[in-house]
A and B are shown apart, each in its own frame.
Chain A
């Protein structure tokens, strides 16, 4: 996860650096088998949270039983077969955990608010 630290350090520079660090999907595979742990933190000025949502009504979004929020608004996420994660903001790039995904989304958003899920 050193990539995240590097990305954090670089943030505040240019958009060009966003998402520069790819995280290894294998790193998250083991931990997600028992479900990712909840988190809540302020990252680059945004409140990011993740928690499991047992029996969640996410099936129409095709999402897992785990939900990520940025400043209280839901980020649509998905877990891949190998245990890695993608979100609707970083859909073609594998991330090791929902927290890494939330941080990558914050970097991409550059302060913009998430739109409500369709």
Chain B
């Protein structure tokens, strides 16, 4: 059984194996297929039209499935690798071991935002950026410099306390747990972390930065925490709703997976802490 661990507790060897699996997926072209899929959904999910991956109830099951598919690719390279999670309420500093050269590498330099050291620096030749909004070929970050702070545990708890999964109009204007977690409304958890990292993470092609997976793994874990806190609350909408993925509707691009299929992650992986 796969166990997803807090990135802060990984051994040097676990970090190395995770990084090496990422580099192999990048080399084979399979990594960029995930970047491209994500960017396509970002551009097409709209508040008043079809919406699947973002600004909609299926934000959480869609990203759970997306991470699962990505983790399977990692495990084809090395069966012992799982996606770690980044608890940004605890590891809040650009000086965190997350951003060391033996793991994800540091923030970008001030002149052009380019990440200069670590496994994903452009000079290594192992991490060229090809799916993006512009032609700059190097990974960019500006950790903590956009005038926002990472969310606190108290802010997370205030969102976990919301008992209703999602509400009409089922978009970025909704009240309820999903939209507050996603961040279009209220204290803003998920969106704000993308902004805090900056560079590629602030764009639709955010999976260009490997921290995307660690961020979304923690979001996925928070969904699990919410389910435990509210055992009587379920995914909504339960039935067909225009432009929105209901509990038993298939999600693009897979078309064989519904939100109902994604409610329980334990057949696929567990988290290191309950």
User: Which residues on A are within 8 Å of B, measured CB to CB?
Assistant: 14-22, 59-63, 76, 78-82, 88-94, 108-110, 112-115, 117-118
Q: A18-B198, A88-B205 are in contact. List 10 more A-B contacts (CB 8 A).
A: A19-B198, A59-B49, A61-B43, A81-B184, A88-B43, A92-B192, A93-B202, A114-B133, A118-B40, A118-B43
Q: Are A112 and B111 CB-contacts (below 8 A) given A18-B142, A89-B203, A118-B40? A: no
Contact of B191 among A17, A93, A117 (CB under 8 A): A93
Contact of B112 among A19, A62, A94, A110 (CB under 8 A): A110
Q: Are A15 and B110 CB-contacts (below 8 A) given A89-B202, A115-B132? A: yes
Q: In the complex, A17 Cα to B108 Cα: how many Å? A: 12
Q: Does the CB pair B194–A92 fall under 8 Å?
A: yes
Q: Does B204 contact A (CB under 8 A)?
A: yes
Closest to B46 in A: A62
Q: Are A80 and B173 CB-contacts (below 8 A) given A19-B202, A93-B202? A: yes
Closest 5 CB pairs of A and B: A81-B173, A14-B110, A16-B145, A92-B191, A112-B134
Q: Does B155 contact A (CB under 8 A)?
A: no
- Give me 28 A-to-B residue pairs in the complex whose CB atoms sit less than 8 angstroms apart, sorted by A's number: A15-B110, A15-B111, A15-B113, A19-B146, A19-B202, A20-B147, A22-B147, A62-B44, A62-B46, A63-B46, A78-B43, A78-B46, A80-B172, A80-B173, A81-B172, A81-B184, A88-B203, A88-B204, A89-B202, A90-B203, A91-B203, A92-B183, A92-B194, A109-B133, A110-B113, A112-B134, A117-B43, A118-B39
Q: In the complex, A110 Cα to B136 Cα: how many Å? A: 10
Q: In the complex, A108 Cα to B147 Cα: how many Å? A: 15
Q: Does the CB pair A88–B147 fall under 8 Å?
A: no
CB neighbors of A among B113-141 (8 A)? 113, 132-136
Q: Does B156 contact A (CB under 8 A)?
A: no
Task: Specify which chain A residues have a CB less than 8 angstroms from the CB of B135 in the assembled complex.
Answer: 112-113, 115
Closest to B42 in A: A91
Q: In the complex, A77 Cα to B65 Cα: how many Å? A: 26
Closest to B171 in A: A81
Q: Does the CB pair A92–B195 fall under 8 Å?
A: yes
Contact of A82 among B50, B132, B172 (CB under 8 A): B172
Closest to B197 in A: A92
Task: Specify which chain B residues have a CB less than 8 angstroms from the CB of A88 in the assembled complex.
Answer: 39, 42-43, 133, 203-205
Shortest beta-carbon distance from B130 to chain A in Å? 10
Q: Are A115 and B133 CB-contacts (below 8 A) given A19-B198, A22-B148? A: yes
Q: Does B169 contact A (CB under 8 A)?
A: yes
Most B C-beta atoms less than 10 A away, residue of A81, A90, A108? A81
Q: Does B73 contact A (CB under 8 A)?
A: no
Task: Specify which chain B residues have a CB less than 8 angstroms from the CB of A113 in the assembled complex.
Answer: 134-135
Shortest beta-carbon distance from A111 to chain B in Å? 9
CB neighbors of A among B167-184 (8 A)? 169, 171-173, 183-184
Q: Does the CB pair B136–A81 fall under 8 Å?
A: no
Task: Specify which chain B residues have a CB less than 8 angstroms from the CB of A63 in the assembled complex.
Answer: 43, 46
Interface string of B66-99 (1 = CB under 8 A from A): 0000000000000000000000000000000000
Q: Does B220 contact A (CB under 8 A)?
A: no
Shortest beta-carbon distance from A1 to chain B in Å? 16
Task: Specify which chain B residues have a CB less than 8 angstroms from the CB of A94 in the assembled complex.
Answer: 184
Q: In the complex, A59 Cα to B44 Cα: how many Å? A: 9
Task: Specify which chain B residues have a CB less than 8 angstroms from the CB of A112 in the assembled complex.
Answer: 134-136
Q: Does the CB pair B142–A114 fall under 8 Å?
A: no
Shortest beta-carbon distance from B18 to chain A in Å? 25
Q: Does the CB pair B145–A17 fall under 8 Å?
A: yes
Task: Specify which chain A residues have a CB less than 8 angstroms from the CB of B195 in the assembled complex.
Answer: 19, 92-93
